[in-house]
Amino acid sequence: MRVKVPATTANLGPGFDTLGMALELYNIVELTALPQGELVVEIEGEGISNIPRDDSNIVIKIIRQVYAKAKMQPCGFKLKLINHIPVARGLGSSAAALVGGAVAANELCGNVLTDQEVLELVTTFEGHPDNVAPALFGGVVVSAEVQNAQGSEVVSRKIPPPYGLKALVAIPDFHLATKKARSVLPRQVPFEDALFNLSRVSMVIMAFVHNDWELLGKVMDDRLHQPYREELIPGMKDVFAAAYDAGAIAAVLSGAGPTLIAFARENTEDIARAMKEAFERHGVKATIQELKPSPVGAKVF
Ligand SMILES: Nc1ncnc2c1ncn2[C@@H]1O[C@H](COP(=O)(O)OP(=O)(O)O)[C@@H](O)[C@H]1O
Ligand SMILES: N[C@@H](CCOP(=O)(O)O)C(=O)O
């Protein structure tokens, strides 16, 4: 069983824990059933030296959860992870790993779980739906956790991938665990900052629905997480300024960082160079990749 699953950039500026976009950078999860009790984990590419190969691997954990939810007797597993998504950089590596594992396990179980059940299960594990939903469905996805009679559910709606928009990701050569980047966020925010984000996130959704890049450039700003995370990412503001000066439509933190992402339709080489040089002025080595939004999410192939 082989599953291809995309990287994701969460938040898209003001949409903290709500918005995410799939990107054309993919991990592959290969899962084979083995006799009960056997476990083999092989890793290629990103994370080769620090992702665990035992039961503490999050892919193994979610596979076991899928089997339990599907009420199937768990067997042993051979898991091969071919990783192209950099780990702990703000490009949704954990969501991709979990979605890939869950979709592969569900396939081995005869697809007992619906996509919605996979979404719920993985979101509960990950803690927020904004990477999980686009990793599963592709495109730009708006998600919310809402209360219902049974407790809560994740509602999500997909916007088709933006046409002609390119994402320039500046990936610093240091890790930042999402858990750490969430620990610097305040418990309370000023009312006017909540209002600022409410208006901006509504407009960001309108911009993606209508492919209105002029609007996106005016409203892709945030006051709920980026200002607090700036201390963790040397040069963040200068890299944003350099991207705008070189012609970017907008530049924001990708997920919890430390990757910074600029959106553009043209001048992409100039923007990439400007972001790299701005990071360098702050002593940070960064790799720049030009990616397209991915129209597809996790796929068995
Ligand atoms: N391909 C993978 N297989 C197994 N675990 C992974 C994989 N990719 C990431 N992880 C786990 O997820 C953690 C990183 O998650 P997180 O801090 O949320 O960063 P990211 O922004 O990359 O999702 C890693 O430390 C590792 O434990
Ligand atoms: N909304 C989350 C998104 C985390 O994304 P990741 O790719 O950094 O895991 C947050 O901002 O904490």
Residue 10 is labelled as binding a ligand: no
| 12 and 132 within one domain | yes
Return the SS3 of 216. helix
Which H/E stretch holds residue 32? strand 19-34
Q: Whose CA is nearest to atom 11 of ligand 2?
A: 256
Structure tokens at 233: 């990412």
| 212 and 267 within one domain | yes
pLDDT at 160: 87
pLDDT at 148: 92
Domain count, the chain: 2
The CATH number of the domain holding residue 229 is 3.30.70.890
**Boundary (domain end) residue, out of 134, 159, 184:** 159
| 215 and 146 within one domain | no
| 151 and 38 within one domain | yes
d(CA 266, CA 268): 5
| 228 and 140 within one domain | no
pLDDT at 54: 95
pLDDT at 74: 83
Mean of per-residue pLDDT scores for the chain: 97
pLDDT at 150: 86
**pLDDT of 102 above 90:** yes
| 94 and 58 within one domain | yes
Q: Tell me the whole-structure pTM to 2 decimals.
A: 0.97
Closest atom of ligand 2 to CA, residue 257: 8
Bond prior to 160 in cis (omega within 30° of 0): no
**Boundary (domain end) residue, out of 142, 159, 176:** 159
Which residues pair with residue 188 across a beta bridge?
none
CA 21-115-76 angle, to 5 degrees, is: 105
Return the SS3 of 23. strand
| 200 and 145 within one domain | no
d(CA 107, CA 115): 11
Query: Considering only 81-95, 152-166, 182-196, 232-246, which range has the smallest mean pLDDT?
Result: 152-166
Nearest CA among 138, 180, 172, 182 for reference residue 156: 138
Confidence class for position 185, pLDDT limits 50, 70, 90: very high
The ipTM of this complex is 0.99
Query: Read out DSSP for 141-181?
Result: EEEEEEEETTEEEEEEEEEPPPTT-EEEEEEESS---HHHH
pLDDT at 57: 98
Pocket test for ligand 1, best of 51, 63, 122, 259 (most atoms within 8 A of CB): 51
Distance 93 CA to ligand 1 centre (A): 5
| 199 and 129 within one domain | no
| 222 and 155 within one domain | no
Structure tokens at 107: 């396939």
Q: Are strands 76-83 and 39-45 parallel, antiparallel or unpaired?
A: parallel
**Boundary (domain end) residue, out of 159, 188, 208:** 159
Distance 88 CA to ligand 2 centre (A): 10
Structure tokens at 14: 């003001």
Taking only the tens place, the pLDDT of each residue in 118-147 is 999 999 999 999 999 999 999 999 999 999
Confidence class for position 299, pLDDT limits 50, 70, 90: very high
- In short, whether 43's Cβ falls inside 6 Å of ligand 1 is no
**pLDDT of 161 above 90:** no
- In short, whether 131's Cβ falls inside 6 Å of ligand 2 is yes
HSE-CB at 122 with a 13 A cutoff on CA atoms is 33
Residues sharing a CB contact under 8 Å with residue 173, sequence separation 6 or more, in sequence order:
284, 285, 286, 287
pLDDT at 261: 98
Question: Could you tell me the residue range of the domain that residue 187 belongs to?
Answer: 166-291
d(CA 260, CA 275): 9
Taking only the tens place, the pLDDT of each residue in 42-73 is 999 999 999 999 999 999 999 999 999 999 99
Residue 152 DSSP class: E
**Helix, strand, coil content of the chain in percent (nearest 5):** 35, 30, 35
pLDDT at 238: 98
